[in-house]
Structure 1
Amino acid sequence: MKLVVQVKLLPTPVQAAALEATLRACNEAATWASGIAFERNVKRNFALREHTYSTAKARWGLGAQAAQHVIKKTCDAYAALKANLRAGNLGKPGSKRYRRAVEKPVVFRPEGAQPYDDRMLSWQIAERRVSVWTVAGRVKDVAFTASPEQLATLALYRKGESDLVCWDGMWFLLSTCEVPEAPLNAEPSDFLGVDLGIVNIATTSDGEIMAGRELNRIRVRERKFRTKLQKKNTPSAKRRLKKRRRKEARRAKNINHKIAKHVVAEAERTGRGIALEDLTGIRERVRLRKPQRATHSSWAFHQLGAFIGYKARRAGVPLVYVDPAYTSRTCAECGHIDRANRVSQAWFVCRSCGFVDHADRNGSRNIRARAWELWRRGAQSTALAPPRKPGSGAGRKRSITASDARCASPVL
């Protein structure tokens, strides 16, 4: 399986200036090549190379490999645009968004990522140094930092290209690694159900609640602070907003990695599989009041599912996606389904048998039971993302719908 290892570069001011000039030149050349591809309707790699290769080298001072990567990046951008148009991600044909995407060429940001291959980038992993091609010549001994696990992965499994990117003045290399997967556990003893929600990000069928109210209080405080800065709209407020704009995304990503790592480790330790809800398209299916939208849409549940997916594949843990319809209204003990069973956001009380449990734990137990039933019938799923199931009824999922959003406080 392919994994991307992110390492942070620590260039000197001179080295950083050379890297910045390189990204700017490569993206300017890519934007120019994009215009040629759009004007002449030539969007295949080798065909576009005939029209742009020599000019890109001479005009922007690119090396042979860099010019080829610029052209390939341009063609890949048009391929991605075509796929998004086919999937309907840019609206219906004729819509304003659709026309805006197809009526003008693709434009690349000056700081956009640039791919590097082994002819343009040399790694000295033991010394934590890289040698990078730039428009100003080869820049050697660029320091980088990484954890011991990342260094081991790079040394053993690095294969393919690496992308040079600049985020908020910080430089990174995103390196592709081909990591072997563990053999799949074809005979799990049971499943570990995971219920995803707003108040409690993840609750397992073992009763463990991860990232609950304390995290939500931090998120509410951060959102109020951002709103205050936006209303102030002074130069200093804008500087502070720019500085903090990625903070929430980094926090969410870090917490999602920790949750995924813990869930997969627990399932692997106990010889169980993992059961998740198929929440594909949940934001389009659920109708919310305006005050609830920020809370409902501010957590990266798809990212969490993807993290659990690839970590499960790497560990050989089976992963099953189930239909989430009525999991929060069904009694995990007797199977009675009733909307009145969910007496509050936190508690579940069965109207038939009187069973009382934490609402999210009850839902995760129902998810576990459905996964076990699917597995026994041979319906296995180990994909990184669940397939779309039209009419699955996931919009009725209570743990992340409007009824719970009223009780909620605003991710290695």
Structure 2
Amino acid sequence: MLSWQHQAHTVSIWNTSGRPKNVAFTGQAEQLEVLAAHRRGESDLVCQGGKWFLIATCDIDEAAPNTHPAGFLGVDLGIVNIAATSDGERHWGRRINRKREQDRKLRRKLQRKNTKSAKRRAKRHAGKEARRAKDINHKISKRIVAEAGGHLPARAQPRAWGSTGRGIALETLTGIRERARLRKPQRVKVHSWPFAQLGSFIAYKAKRAGVPVVHVDSAYTSQECSKCHHAARGNRPSQAVFSCRVCGFVDHADHSASHNIARRGWYVWVCGAQSTVPELTLIT
């Protein structure tokens, strides 16, 4: 049992030895604003890793849904860049991949040792990896919702995109691991990142901001030209480059795919049907 003093950032907590008063608490500025305005119901006092946390329940009204979006922001999930948008933004690329490679090497080293201490260390490190990935997914999802025109707290607005009134088009991730044909190093990167978690974070943040979200079939989006819509394996001369063999259009491969996802998202929204997938043509 406790009482909150939001102005002083303190609480008084009833425990077995009495009621300590003026116990200070802290948090990020937007978290404290939400806490003061929307806290409802009970709170939990939790000890994790020798630190004490107050976990409060907040009841926040959702924004009115945007039923007439001005378009869709396409989001391509990839190997080098975790997410790339049709506005040209690339989120968490080579820097986090270097860290993930270091984590994989440490994991392999501890697995080879196979001692009790190595297993304990591997378990702690796995938890650290999961927390880091969750934090990055939260940051990416905030930026994408803000980029689409969602009204998030000021601290979550990374740049002056403004209220563009768009929706978000995401790839359908169901069965992606079975569909993807990747080399072994690429499979490790794809399978080790929680893309489903990122999609769920985007969905609930978008719902809070009133931004519509649609899911589209991602088949051949990386091989389809976003200008003439010709699809062929030869359009991808390398992992990062897209070069259409018909119209000559050249772009970053992730950006080209995100434009195709945005277009399919608009079709899904307007037609109320599944997005169409172009036939794959081979050019020798």
TM-score w.r.t. length of structure 1? 0.57
Contact 1:257–1:307 (CA<8 Å) still a contact in 2? yes
Distance change in 2, residues 1:139/1:170 (3 Å): same
In the alignment, residue 20 of structure 2 is paired with which amino acid? K
Among 88, 92, 95, the alignment partner of 1:211 is 92
| TM-fit CA distance, 1:159 | 1.9
Distance change in 2, residues 1:362/1:286 (3 Å): closer
In the alignment, residue 207 of structure 1 is paired with which amino acid? G
The answer for the alignment partner of 1:246 in structure 2 is 127
The answer for the alignment partner of 2:20 in structure 1 is 140
The answer for the alignment partner of 2:237 in structure 1 is 343
Identity %: 62
Are 2:190 and 1:296 aligned? yes
SS in structure 2 opposite 1:245? helix
Among 29, 32, 57, the alignment partner of 1:176 is 57
| TM-fit CA distance, 1:289 | 7.1
The answer for the alignment partner of 1:365 in structure 2 is 259
* Distance (Å, rounded) in 2 between the aligned partners of 1:206 and 1:174: 37
The answer for the alignment partner of 1:114 in structure 2 is none
In the alignment, residue 140 of structure 1 is paired with which amino acid? P
Are 2:125 and 1:231 aligned? no
| TM-fit CA distance, 1:137 | 5.7
Are 2:33 and 1:152 aligned? yes
Spell out the pairing of 1:321-400 with structure 2 (5 A cutoff). 321-378=215-272
- Where do 5+ consecutive residues of structure 1 fail to align? 1-119, 380-388, 397-412
| TM-fit CA distance, 1:196 | 0.6
* Distance (Å, rounded) in 1 between the aligned partners of 2:222 and 2:125: 36
Residue-by-residue CA offset, 1:106-141 (whole Å, 9 max, x unaligned): xxxxxxxxxxxxxx343333333444566x466534
RMSD over aligned CA atoms reads 2.9
In the alignment, residue 246 of structure 1 is paired with which amino acid? G
The answer for the alignment partner of 1:127 in structure 2 is 8
Which of 1 and 2 has greater Rg? 1
| TM-fit CA distance, 1:337 | 1.8
Among 79, 84, 87, the alignment partner of 1:198 is 79
Residue-by-residue CA offset, 1:139-178 (whole Å, 9 max, x unaligned): 5345432112111111111123444444334333332211
Task: Count matched residues.
Answer: 263
SS in structure 1 opposite 2:25? strand
Are 2:102 and 1:221 aligned? yes
In the alignment, residue 377 of structure 1 is paired with which amino acid? C
Spell out the pairing of 1:98-109 with structure 2 (5 A cutoff). none
Distance change in 2, residues 1:146/1:282 (3 Å): same
Contact 1:131–1:138 (CA<8 Å) still a contact in 2? no
* Distance (Å, rounded) in 2 between the aligned partners of 1:162 and 1:153: 14
Are 2:205 and 1:311 aligned? yes
In the alignment, residue 256 of structure 1 is paired with which amino acid? N
- Where do 5+ consecutive residues of structure 2 fail to align? 150-161
The answer for the alignment partner of 1:277 in structure 2 is 171
In the alignment, residue 248 of structure 1 is paired with which amino acid? E
Contact 1:193–1:275 (CA<8 Å) still a contact in 2? yes
Larger helix proportion, structure 1 or 2? 1
Contact 2:75–2:168 (CA<8 Å) still a contact in 1? yes
**More displaced stretch, 236-245 vs 318-327:** 236-245
